[in-house]
Amino acid sequence: MQNALSALVIHDIKNALALLEIELEQLNHHEGVPVEGQRAYRRCIELKVRLMGFLTLYKHDQSGLKPMIQEIDPLEFLEDLVEASQSVQMGKNHQGHPISVEVDLKKIKQKAAGFFDENLVELALESALNNAVRYAHREVRVWFEQEGNALTFKVFDDGTGFATEPVRRSSSSTGLGLALCEAVASAHGDGKISIESLPGEGTLFAMTLHRAG
């Protein structure tokens, strides 16, 4: 009974959040939308990302993530991710300034073949993109690197960095996002995540996936 009730509550919240997202998206298509309306839309997107992340982590805690591994072109995957990402489409940081998000082709040195669960990795990188766009000053760049059986996706933002933005480490949304990324990475051959941040120079998030065998 408790599990059934929890499922009904979560389903109801998801539906309500979806309706709110549609209404705010329509509002933001009008000219002269106040900053408060833009922020409300971004907040709604962030809440949806957090809810999906929470559900994935709950599944991971209950029974472990069982990725559906497929062969995927990492470049096409990133291009589709950036094009479809709602965080990217919003295109503004938490202060309302426009942010450019691009796949950095200069850093992709070779054609690669990826073997991973597209849905899980998309969910994890969407969370990373959401955080990067939120704290960037002007731009976010994404790319991948491959070495042997390891495929690493990277997300860089030109924000201030941890030293002057402690909220990036302590906020519940960031903590949930990192936990989600860690769960997804560990489900792919004991992969891992890392974060490098230099004050005034930006932050680099990396998620490495290992192909078994």
pLDDT range class, residue 4, cuts 50, 70, 90: low
Predicted structure pTM score: 0.77
- The boundaries of the domain holding residue 142 are 2-210
Helices (H), the chain: 2-28, 35-63, 74-84, 86-90, 118-135, 167-170, 172-186
Question: How far apart are alpha carbons 210 and 72 in whole angstroms?
Answer: 14
- Write the pLDDT tens digit of every residue in 92-140: 777 778 889 999 999 998 788 899 999 999 989 998 998 898 889 999 9
Helix or strand holding residue 103 (H, E): strand 100-103
- Write the pLDDT tens digit of every residue in 7-56: 677 767 777 887 888 888 888 778 887 878 877 887 787 787 778 777 77
**47 C-beta neighbours (distance < 10 Å), count:** 15
Task: Give the residue with greater pLDDT, 5 vs 87.
Answer: 87
Side chain identity, residue 18: A
CATH number at residue 151: 3.30.565.10
**HSE-up (13 A, CA, CB side) for residue 14:** 12
Regarding beta strands 192-198 and 100-103, do their DSSP bridges make them parallel or antiparallel, or are they unpaired?
Answer: unpaired
**How does DSSP assign 173-192, residue by residue?**
HHHHHHHHHHHHHHTTTS-E
Per-residue pLDDT at 1 exceeds 60 = no
pLDDT at 54: 77
Cβ 154 vs Cβ 144: under 8 Å:
yes
Structural domain count, the chain: 1
Cβ 156 vs Cβ 167: under 8 Å:
no
